[in-house]
Amino acid sequence: MVQGKRLVQTFCELVSCDSPSYGERAVCDYLKQALRALGLTVTEDDTAEKIGGTAGNIYAVLPASEGMEQLPPLLFSGHMDTVEPSRGKQAIVHEDGTITSDGNTVLGADDCAALAAILEALTVIQEEHLPHRMIEVLFSAAEEVYCIGIGALDYSRLRAKEAYILDMSGPVGSAAVQAPTILSFEITMHGKASHAGFSPETGIHAIAAAVEAAGQLQNGWLDTETTRNIGTISGGTATNIVPDCCKITGEIRSFSHEKACKVWEETRQAFAAAAERYGAEMEACHTVHVHAYCTPRKHAVVKRFEAVCAQQGIACGLRSTMGGSDNNPLSEHGITGIVLATAMNNTHSCAEYTEADELERIANITVGLMCAED
């Protein structure tokens, strides 16, 4: 079925395409050409214009084979962008089958492994004339920046109500069925400047107010499903000036959307109270980037994956993840999916690597899912 050498070659070619977030033009063109060569109907949407990038989302369709038309379509998705440092990356294939970068960039297995696996699965289906249901393919832009690309998608064009998103680290055969709401915030404390040596009493110390509020808040795990992190704090202009401004940024994640919003309100109130005590003013804003979802373990999208793994002798494990993915916005639009581990390790670092055997496993799983008759 899957041809390992061809799969690795495709992966290496994808890695060689520069594809930072908002700059996926090269990999987008590669994918469009490859999909069209496989007989899919391919379109690129206008997301590039909407988000200020160089490439839109790719949407492609392979009609069901004869006798499979009655089965509902399935959506297979991966993202085109990679985190920095990513420009000039090259894949180095080692004798033991491990694939790394040269150490100066990320490898880009996140998410080139997904792109290569989906292309290989489609190639196998076409070569071997395997019966398959209608297959929809979605390759998104700017996923690494809080799923900006898929957020601009016209969801009305999607027919599938079930999806497999190839975008998770860990051993192939594992999958995420739950992911959190991710909310970021920015708070600015406005105080009053004065000379710190001659008249400190006439100033309002914005940093002191911010630090007092931050010190009252627990960071890290707040309970078994919620985290808060104050990530940056900056302010002041000189060592002899009482700072009149301080900016704080942070993030909240929770498997409960309502709880994430509640923690944000508690955070805002803590800074508002500190501002009042110091006689400062406060500005606060937040952005909900993705909403939490939980896919039932008895759902067909899960059972199908478990069955395919069992057929191929691959250990299957279902879990929750505190990371977001394109599955979050898909879920918001009524599409039920899970996120598959996709032969990527040490992601978001220059120590990222993949393995040829794992690439073959995820490609074979993808073939099995595309051809499943349940």
Amino acid identity for residue 127 in this structure: E
Instruction: Give the closest residue to 56 by CA, choosing from 85, 29, 92, 94.
Output: 29
Known catalytic membership, residue 18: no
Catalytic residue among 24, 111, 143, 352: 143
Catalytic residue among 24, 44, 81, 110: 81
Known catalytic membership, residue 143: yes
Q: Position of tokens 């440092």?
A: 85
Amino acid identity for residue 131 in this structure: P
* Residues 352, 345: Cα–Cα separation, whole Å: 6
Dihedral angle computed from the Cα positions of residues 90, 93, 98 and 103, in that order, rounded to the nearest 10 degrees: -30
Cα–chain center distance at 31:
19
Residues counted in the chain: 374
CB-CB neighbours of 37 under 10 Å: 13
Instruction: Give the closest residue to 135 by CA, choosing from 76, 79, 78.
Output: 76
Catalytic site positions: 81, 143
